Amino acid sequence: MNNFKPKITIIIATYNSEKTLEQTLASVAGQIYSNIELIVIDGGSTDLTVDIIRKYENIISYWETEPDEGVYDAFNKGVKHATGEYVQFLGSDDCLCEATTIEYVVANLSDEIDVLSATVWLVDEKTNLQYLLNNSHAVDKKSFDGRMIPHPGMFVKRELLLKHPFDISYQIAADYLFFLECYFENARFAFIDKPVVFFSSCGISSTNEVKLNEENEKIWRKFHLDLKITEDNMTKHLLKNFLKGIGLFEVARYLINRYLREKWVPHICEWTGCRWCRNRRD
């Protein structure tokens, strides 16, 4: 039996998230594991986001609302107020998978683990289909191909985040830089293949591929990784822009994900009020 019961700090960065934040907060409130510290850093929202935060104040250890320099600046602010042994970062449009998620994560933790990496479901906001983002490519460092592991699926010792704060000069890929800093400095990683988060496709890393590629290439040079944007990926990018230009991108994406990609499946979960379950097309 695992008697290691660390405090888990969950940090949520928000900005004008009134349409999605309550689902995120409710998934944290619904956890059966009790030793959770929740921190919410809002970037000065002008919609109803702050009202939703106040609604959940009874489960929030610390929150603030003021302008910031982006999501990584918000995460760094949250880390400064964190007291948990491990920290997880959630987007304000993400959702923990089950009420037992954090309990399961803790059962797989020990003080010998610096970073626990889990898989996540990527949920397409337009089609309500989901795809499993795995971490298997990083399990063996000898065969590591350079790809990022799912950031919402990372549970990181707080001292690592204090040692390597997110570089806010990166708008999209600072989490990737942090991961590589830990990975190549021999932080002790453990991997589980159970999904822990429903990760929204509306995140900035999913919607700004050009900027993401620019930042990734900068990071690859920093770590002397022999990687590049493949011709196949560039062709996909050009085709995507063409379909957007003629107004057929959403239709094409739904048809491809639903009927041509076997790994995309309809979203389903246990949470009452889930926006994806409510809008799912069968």
Please determine, for residue 253, whether its predicted confidence score (pLDDT) is greater than 70: no
Q: What's the rounded mean pLDDT across residues 152-172?
A: 96
Per-state percent for the chain, helix, strand, coil, to nearest 5: 40, 20, 40
- CA distance linking residue 170 with residue 189, whole number of Å: 24
Q: Is residue 126 part of a domain?
A: yes
CA separation for the pair 159, 170 (Å, rounded)? 21
1 falls within a domain: no
Which residues, at least 6 apart from 58, have a Cβ–Cβ distance to it below 8 Å? Answer: none
* CATH code of the domain covering residue 195: 3.90.550.10
Asked whether residue 229 is assigned to any structural domain, the reply reads: yes
- Predicted confidence (pLDDT) per residue in 113-140, tens digit: 999 999 999 999 888 999 999 999 999 9
Confirm whether 181 is domain-assigned: yes
> Does residue 3 lie within any of the structural domains?
no
Does 220 reside within a domain?
A: yes
**Three-state SS for 9?**
strand
What dihedral do alpha carbons 22, 28, 30, 35 form, nearest 10°? -150
Q: Is the pLDDT of residue 201 over 60?
A: yes
pLDDT tens-digit readout, 202-218 = 754 444 677 888 898 89
The structural domain count of the chain equals 1
Q: For residue 25, give the nearest of 95, 98, 101, 120 by alpha carbon.
A: 95
Residue 143 pLDDT grade (very low, low, confident, very high; cuts 50, 70, 90): confident
Band (pLDDT 50/70/90 cuts) for residue 234 is very low
Q: What is the DSSP letter of 250?
A: H
DSSP assignments along 76-108, one per residue? HHHHHH--SSEEEEEETT-EES-TTHHHHHHHT
Question: Each residue of 3-22: pLDDT tens digit?
Answer: 899 999 999 999 999 999 99
With respect to residue 89, please indicate whether it lies within any of the assigned structural domains: yes
The reply to whether 105 falls in a domain is yes
Q: By residue range, what is the domain housing residue 151?
A: 8-279
At residue 90 the predicted structure's pLDDT band, cuts being 50, 70 and 90, is very high
Choose between 159 and 230: higher pLDDT: 159
